[in-house]
């Protein structure tokens, strides 16, 4: 059969099929051939996949469960992980496994550590008489990176949030009170975040520490707030300026 006769035969078959409806695979509906040889799907056809393959969908769901990760970001991360080599993927899996197996809280300050007590609490160069109270271990790391604090820490592992069901019993408040009552502490610096929950937590700690502080001669202080270094006054918010004025210090060169 030459090329011309083959084309004519194919065209004849197409003309014979115009208007006919052909069934597709089960669950895929049917298709009808129009006169212009363009197939259209019947309204009952279902071509939308409801989910990814099981293993991929589980990965997307697990990533989406992480804080701050939406469905689109979870999908991008999942497809990135798929592209990793076996060694890179196993290295990530081992890192997650190791942190779950090896990481614990310091029995003194409740910071994350692989060795209890943590390196900060066992450092002989640290001033054990000054305790900086922070909300989370990440806040502790921020102070450590600043390099200006040479005392020790106490991690609350959160802040008070009554609407979320987080009360003092969910934090390490009791451990802080026992630590203060044990003796040897000269100052407790309340370094919770300067937001609604952080301020409420600081006020609660101040009140709870009042009795033991009076008995042991402990000074309870709050981190300063105000205009950040390098900022221009005209661009600073009114709330920050108010804090700066209320927390103003002597300019005689002496340290607080």
CATH number at residue 147: 3.40.1360.10
What are the pLDDT digits (tens) for 182-202?
Answer: 999 999 999 999 899 999 999
218 and 154, same structural domain?
yes
17 and 60, same structural domain?
no
Report, as an integer, the average pLDDT of 222-251.
Answer: 83
209 and 137, same structural domain?
yes
Residues β-bridged to residue 206: none
User: pLDDT at position 256, please?
Assistant: 54
Percent of the chain with pLDDT over 90: 66
**3-state helix, strand and coil shares in percent for the chain, rounded to the nearest 5:** 45, 15, 40
- The first and second tokens of residue 133, run together, are 């109270």
77 and 155, same structural domain?
no
Is the pLDDT confidence value at 5 over 50?
A: no
Neighbouring C-alpha atoms within 13 Å toward the C-beta of 256: 11
Full residue range of the structural domain in which residue 19 is found: 3-41
137 and 215, same structural domain?
yes
pTM: 0.73
DSSP three-state, residue 155: strand
The verdict on residue 110 lying in a domain is no
| CATH, residue 62 | 1.10.8.420
> Could you give the CA distance from residue 209 to residue 207 in angstroms, rounded to a whole number?
5
Considering only residues 25 and 72, tell me which one the structure prediction assigns the higher pLDDT: 72
How do strand 127-134 and strand 151-155 relate by DSSP bridges?
parallel
Average pLDDT, the chain: 85
The total domain count for the chain is 3
Is the pLDDT confidence value at 93 over 50?
A: yes
């Amino acid at each position: 059969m030459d090329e011309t006769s083959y084309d004519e035969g194919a065209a004849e078959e197409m003309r014979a099929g115009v208007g006919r409806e052909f069934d597709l695979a089960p669950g895929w509906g049917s298709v009808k051939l129009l006169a212009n040889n363009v197939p259209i799907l019947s309204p009952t056809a279902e071509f939308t996949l409801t989910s990814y393959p099981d293993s991929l969908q589980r990965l997307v769901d697990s990533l989406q469960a992480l804080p701050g990760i939406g469905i689109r970001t979870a999908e991008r991360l999942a497809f990135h992980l798929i592209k990793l080599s076996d060694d890179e993927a196993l290295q990530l899996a081992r890192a997650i496994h190791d942190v779950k197996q090896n990481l614990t809280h310091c029995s003194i300050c409740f910071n994350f550590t692989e060795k209890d007590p943590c390196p900060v609490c066992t450092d002989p160069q640290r001033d054990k008489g000054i305790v900086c109270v922070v909300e989370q271990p990440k806040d502790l790391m921020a102070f450590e990176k600043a390099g200006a604090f040479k005392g020790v820490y106490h991690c609350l592992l959160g802040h008070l949030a009554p609407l979320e069901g987080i009360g003092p019993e969910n934090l390490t408040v009791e451990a802080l009170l026992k630590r203060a009552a044990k003796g040897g502490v000269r100052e407790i610096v309340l370094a919770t975040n300067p937001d609604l929950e952080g301020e409420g937590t600081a006020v609660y700690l101040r009140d709870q520490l009042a009795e033991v502080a009076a008995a042991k001669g402990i000074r309870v202080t709050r981190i300063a707030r105000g205009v950040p270094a390098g900022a221009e006054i005209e661009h600073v918010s009114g709330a920050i300026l108010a804090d700066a004025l209320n927390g103003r210090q002597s300019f005689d060169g002496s340290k607080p």
